[in-house]
């Protein structure tokens, strides 16, 4: 056999996985082992849940008695530093398997009896809101034990960011973390990407097109939640490439009461046929707003950019256009002037490059901001692949950030310049009787000369 057909030996092989049970056991063991072996990675996953910055110990399939029953959580994590110890049980699902409320409630009871701090679940489910758990459990069981969740997408993104951007001090540990990344990226690992808009997608999509959808219709809430989950997945995917945390932009009320966001999105979908959300990239000029228009069949990404505070209107337009020198000609720019109502002037970038005055509707009014947007075609299919809604949204976000948002910078006023001796006026500009060897704050603007006295008769 030719050498090119040989399979390189891997620390965490994907061969030999037979069935969902073996898939979950191998994924659990691989992840927990790497968390304890690579200190930086273990810390990055446990710190958000309140664990101290200490040594991470991990175990799999630890047996516990709950009444007369013997239970086997998939794993256990223990982090110790000094006199403090943080312990969490772990429940893992791979592939399309969903977390089960009854099983989680049993493990919460075990954690409470043992005096543990938390139950951590890991699956391919992505909650619509960060910090929200995808499975509803009896809230009474959460009085003394916390319930946390990680999606496999988040686990993988954190591994890539830690290895490629934050760094791992020990080269051998960095290699181990790389092996985990290779494993999780393999299709047979069971760590899947977001790949389904849900069973209600087709019915809701078709009802929007014919104008018969109501906010209370069955499936609207599911589609709204899936769209928010898609934005979270898009943020994780983009953040993995950028080496930073990209998160959905939500109000404080939406974070505290997810039902508010869900109801607003359902009402928007029924009334306008659109799904709207935003993601925030650290240090970007502004959050990226994503609008999926199911009636028009387009996905639009846009940012709001404050205009410079000085210069003529066309100068302010040129300031923005210079930053978009490599952007697609189809980018649409809309200008907004002070004390103006409604929409401002809007033109395509290709035309503005030829005539910046197209964005100046009223030269007497000051331009205050610009909206920079790019619309692309929207897929309609429920799953993944060519012509799919999910892929069209992901491609639109990635393309807009790489071609537009990444190159935009906020305007900053130039600091005042300190005057030097060379800024003083010349001898011809000052009366000889007022010359001085020292620079005065008044030298740049000499007072008018006093009138000559009247000549004697």
Q: Determine the Cα–Cα distance for residues 32 and 24; give it in Å rounded to an integer.
A: 12
Q: Dihedral of the CA atoms 268, 272, 273, 275 (nearest 10)?
A: -40
Banded model confidence at residue 59, pLDDT cuts 50, 70, 90: very high
Higher pLDDT, 424 or 6: 6
Q: Determine the Cα–Cα distance for residues 352 and 344; give it in Å rounded to an integer.
A: 14
Quick: pLDDT tens for 118-148: 999 999 999 877 778 999 999 999 999 999 9
Q: Determine the Cα–Cα distance for residues 421 and 28; give it in Å rounded to an integer.
A: 72
CB 233 within 8 A of CB 153: yes
3-state secondary structure of 314: helix
Provide the 8-state DSSP code for 239: H
Most confident stretch, 112-121, 340-349, 423-432, 437-446: 112-121
For tokens 């989950």, the residue is: 229
Closest listed residue to residue 424, CA positions, set 410, 454, 445: 445
Question: Which residues, including other chains, have CB under 8 Å from residue 295's CB and lie 6 or more apart?
Answer: 208, 209, 273, 274
3-state secondary structure of 222: helix
Closest listed residue to residue 122, CA positions, set 49, 195, 215: 49
Percent of the chain with pLDDT strictly greater than 70: 89
> Cα–chain-centroid distance for residue 177?
23
Quick: pLDDT tens for 376-406: 999 999 998 899 999 999 999 999 999 999 9
CB 231 within 8 A of CB 290: yes
Average pLDDT, the chain: 88
Sign, CA torsion 312/313/319/322: negative
Q: Which long-range contacts (CB under 8 A, 24 or more apart) does 58-62 make?
A: 58/32, 58/33, 59/32, 60/25, 60/28, 60/29, 60/32, 61/25, 62/89
CB 125 within 8 A of CB 151: yes
- In the chain, DSSP finds a helix count (H) and a strand count (E) of 12, 14
Residue 102 pLDDT: 95
Q: How confident is the model over 13-33, as a mean pLDDT?
A: 87
Provide the 8-state DSSP code for 80: E
CB 246 within 8 A of CB 280: yes
Residue 85 has pLDDT above 50, yes or no: yes
Q: Dihedral of the CA atoms 351, 292, 276, 303 (nearest 10)?
A: -20
Q: Determine the Cα–Cα distance for residues 312 and 252; give it in Å rounded to an integer.
A: 38
Residue 433 pLDDT: 52
Q: Determine the Cα–Cα distance for residues 123 and 104; give it in Å rounded to an integer.
A: 13
Residue 455 has pLDDT above 60, yes or no: no
Q: Determine the Cα–Cα distance for residues 194 and 17; give it in Å rounded to an integer.
A: 22
Closest listed residue to residue 331, CA positions, set 393, 373, 371: 373
Q: Where are the domains of the chain?
A: 12-189, 220-407
Residue 453 pLDDT: 54
Residue 450 pLDDT: 53
Degrees, nearest 5: CA angle 77-82-88: 15
Residue 403 pLDDT: 96
- Spell out where 93-221 has E strands: 118-123, 146-151
Residue 457 pLDDT: 44
Residue 428 has pLDDT above 60, yes or no: no
Residue 382 pLDDT: 92
User: Which CATH number is correct for 12-189, 3.40.50, 3.40.1350, 2.40.30, 3.30.2420?
Assistant: 3.40.1350
User: Token pair of 64, please?
Assistant: 């516990």
């Amino acid at each position: 056999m030719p050498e090119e057909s040989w399979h390189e030996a891997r620390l965490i092989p994907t061969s030999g996985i037979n069935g969902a049970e073996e898939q979950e056991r191998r994924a659990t063991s691989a992840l927990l082992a790497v968390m304890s072996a690579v200190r930086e990675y273990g810390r990055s996953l446990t710190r958000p849940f309140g664990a101290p910055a200490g040594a991470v110990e991990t175990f799999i399939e630890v047996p516990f008695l709950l009444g007369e029953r013997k239970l086997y959580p998939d794993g256990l994590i223990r982090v110790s530093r000094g006199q403090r110890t943080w312990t969490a049980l772990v429940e893992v699902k791979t592939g399309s398997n969903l977390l089960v409320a009854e099983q989680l409630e049993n493990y919460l009871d075990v954690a409470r009896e043992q005096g543990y701090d938390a139950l951590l679940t890991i699956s391919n489910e992505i909650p619509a809101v960060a910090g929200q758990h995808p499975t509803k459990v009896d809230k009474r069981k959460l009085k003394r034990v916390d319930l946390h969740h990680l999606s496999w997408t988040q686990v993988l993104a954190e591994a890539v960011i830690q290895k490629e951007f934050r760094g791992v001090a020990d080269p051998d540990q960095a290699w181990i973390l790389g092996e985990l990344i290779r494993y999780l990226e393999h299709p047979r690992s069971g760590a899947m990407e977001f790949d389904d808009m849900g069973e209600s997608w087709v019915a809701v999509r078709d009802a929007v097109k014919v104008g018969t959808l109501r906010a209370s219709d069955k499936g609207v809430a599911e589609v709204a939640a899936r769209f928010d989950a898609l934005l979270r997945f898009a943020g994780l995917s983009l953040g993995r490439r950028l080496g930073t945390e990209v998160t959905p932009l939500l109000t404080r009320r939406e974070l505290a009461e997810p039902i508010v966001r869900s109801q607003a999105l359902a009402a928007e979908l029924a009334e306008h046929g659109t799904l709207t959300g935003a993601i925030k990239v650290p240090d970007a000029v502004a959050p990226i707003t994503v609008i999926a228009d199911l009636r028009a069949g387009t996905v639009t990404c846009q940012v709001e950019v404050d205009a410079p505070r000085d210069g003529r209107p066309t100068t302010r337009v040129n300031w923005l256009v210079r930053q978009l020198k490599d952007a697609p000609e189809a980018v649409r720019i809309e200008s907004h002037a002070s004390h103006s109502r409604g929409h401002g002037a809007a033109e395509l970038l290709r035309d503005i490059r030829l005539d910046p005055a197209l964005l100046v509707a009223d030269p007497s009014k000051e331009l205050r901001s610009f909206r920079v947007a790019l619309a692309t075609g929207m897929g309609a299919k429920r799953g993944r692949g060519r012509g799919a809604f999910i892929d069209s949204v992901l491609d639109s976000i990635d393309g807009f950030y790489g071609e537009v948002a990444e190159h935009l910078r906020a305007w900053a006023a130039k600091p005042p310049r300190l005057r030097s001796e060379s800024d003083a006026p010349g001898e011809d500009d000052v009366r000889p009787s007022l010359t001085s060897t020292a620079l005065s704050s008044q030298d740049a603007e000499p007072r008018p000369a006093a009138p000559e006295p009247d000549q004697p008769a």
